[in-house]
A and B are shown apart, each in its own frame.
Chain A
């Protein structure tokens, strides 16, 4: 088990390196840059700017300087927001984004698992049909549209919840953002749990467990739950990517102070330093979480560990 986890960590390292390298060179080689404004800057200013950001060095040197910085946790300066280093911006936005994403992840996963299990046990009865309908709506309607719709209904028309903004400690501002993030995630989890639970309850080994007189609760908890969760766990990896995408939108629509907002702003302003820094961070987070998911999977399915 430990050896397996270690192997997975080792395989993740080159992926991070490759990502950093590829993103770095793509962004540096891309036409246009943060200083190509509406008006051309005077050549002297341009030269100083380039020197300041090491842009006058050979590409390889720039790359090595950058890589060294990243290893020390320094993602370089933002090229548009002066006086802010990328690391500083990240340290402001990251805790919020992680908190938001994690809450939505927990709410969506648990809600989806419960809903899916209820639907599976009531297969082809009304709770099942209701769930399938909700899941369809949650998955089909894109999150930016859904975010606007709930903002409109609960914020503007009904005045039940604030339409956006956030100040630390204000939970009520988080209700809609978390709901929007959790809905499609929970929907997919519910769909998976429903399917796998129905399948598992029909397997021979559950029949064996019933033949042993174990009682419904013990059968569900010990014999059915673990295998029924397998597809859910393997979905959690991609699910994290969807949550990430969702958080970009949600932070934008509800005007929340996370890194998603910086990322979008940076992309709009062609702020290479910030785009690169946030991208690397996102990739790192996603890979780390995927790693946890893989180890969890190996724990659930003993066969995987030997592959």
Chain B
């Protein structure tokens, strides 16, 4: 199912490369880490992302205002350092910085949940298809192909209709739609790993298929999973903000970056801080994930081995 950021194209190329190449233990080795740290854009992205994550979770304890606390004396006010409204307040007198941090937390949380779900499903599905091969593989991958042809966002919105009132459940649902690319990568990887001697040895030793898959194949997937997650998290963040923006996502008084942007946009002429604060955080995160994803792909590229 084509997502909304076009990560599938990049990942499919990567998956093809993995399937074509004889694998050589493509885990996160010292070597790959060194290459990643030599990439200045990726390194800077890691720092910025770490800072945003830490600040999103620690910041609220350091601020004078909670995200849902109303300051009756400071409604619709621009940034005011003396009162502790560093990024201003909204129409209800709530502190924008606190709300942005809460929104960032929410965006990160749902992204982590959905990505986690999709990784698990993708690994299981792909490993089974790749390991058993033959007809099972053909049928399973044909199903993936069909799903790819369908527009992702429609099904997300149908999920909204079903799970509307529970954001976490909603993102478990989105995770259930997101796994297709992961399954392709894992299948390709499994196909090539299963040719290797240690799998033969394990089979000769009488290991059962699922033991082999989880003990020998899954641990070899670190690299692909890391890359996949780096590209999927921003996609979910966008999906979430998109849904929240349309009023289909996170509900008040909780908030997310998309919700904040959708509230900020109509009043941006009078209260610009309400739009630009969450927008800046969102764009910064997306940019960082994009550079980090590119950096990881280069660092773990099988071609360079």
Contacts and interface: CB of A to CB of B under 8 A. Distances in A.
Interface in B264-286: 265, 268-269, 275, 279, 282-283, 286
B123 to A, nearest CB: 23
Interface residues of A, number: 47
Contact of B153 (A18, A237, A244, A253): A244
A247 to B, nearest CB: 10
Interface string B162-177: 1010000000000000
B161 A152 contact: no
Contact of A15 (B146, B164, B242): B146
Interface string A263-281: 1100110101001000100
Given A242-B6, A264-B246, A279-B154, A286 B149 contact: yes
B149 A148 contact: no
A290 interface: yes
B8 A144 contact: no
B269 A241 contact: no
B209 interface: no
B250 interface: no
A292 interface: no
A139 B283 CA distance: 11
Interface string A16-50: 00110001001100111000000000000000000
B230 interface: no
B44 interface: no
B158 A23 contact: yes
B29 to A, nearest CB: 28
Interface string A140-151: 111011001101
Contact of A244 (B151, B161, B246): B151
Contacts of B37: none
A287 interface: yes
Interface of A: 15, 18-19, 23, 26-27, 30-32, 136, 139-142, 144-145, 148-149, 151-152, 156-157, 188, 235, 237-238, 241-242, 244-245, 248-249, 252-253, 263-264, 267-268, 270, 272, 275, 279, 282-283, 286-287, 290
9 contacts: A145-B279, A145-B282, A238-B6, A238-B9, A242-B6, A249-B245, A252-B246, A267-B158, A286-B150
Given A139-B6, A267-B248, 17 more contacts: A23-B158, A140-B283, A145-B279, A145-B282, A156-B269, A157-B269, A235-B9, A237-B149, A238-B8, A241-B152, A242-B4, A245-B4, A248-B246, A264-B248, A267-B157, A279-B158, A282-B151
